[in-house]
Amino acid sequence: MKENKYTPKQRAVTALSWIMAVVSCVLLYYEFSSYKDLKAYSDELKKKPENVTFVSDFVQETEPVSYDYVINTGSMKIHKPECEAAEKMRRENRDYITADELEKYYALGYSDCSFCNP
């Protein structure tokens, strides 16, 4: 009779280890796939900053002492300071101008916000 190198229990443990190794690989693969999806999703969000609220938007910013209009350097729109769209604007896109500077910004290609119509 051929001598059995491993006991049935040892063989069961070995088989179980293999199964777990394969399952781990599969799980890892799906984990990685969902990570890629998440990354694609977050890249997608970054492309549409208007729809996203960033924590930095809530950070108190220092406003200039005197200004007449709020401009969005991203969308190139000129808003009244009280405009709702101007308040929701991303902080890094926000800039402040005076009435004297208005013509200069129109020349640069800026246009009036259709919502607040400054």
Stretch that binds Zn ion, among 22-30, 33-41, 59-67, 79-87 (CB under 5 A): 79-87
Question: 37 vs 84, which CB is nearer to Zn ion?
Answer: 84
116 near Zn ion (CB under 5 A) = yes
Cα separation, 29 vs 110, whole angstroms:
48
71 near Zn ion (CB under 5 A) = no
Distances (CA, A) of 81 to 84, 93, 95, 111: 9, 14, 11, 15
Stretch that binds Zn ion, among 11-19, 31-39, 99-107, 110-118 (CB under 5 A): 110-118
Q: In the numeric block, which tokens belong to residue 26?
A: 């599969």
CB of 65 to Zn ion, least distance (A): 22
83 near Zn ion (CB under 5 A) = yes
Stretch that binds Zn ion, among 7-15, 34-42, 56-64, 78-86 (CB under 5 A): 78-86
Q: Which residue's Cβ lies closest to Zn ion?
A: 113
CB of 117 to Zn ion, least distance (A): 8
Distances (CA, A) of 95 to 52, 67, 73, 79, 86: 19, 10, 7, 10, 10
Cα separation, 79 vs 59, whole angstroms:
20
Compute and round to an integer the Cα radius of gyration of the chain: 30
Binding-site ranges for Zn ion (CB under 5 A): 79, 83, 85, 113, 115-116
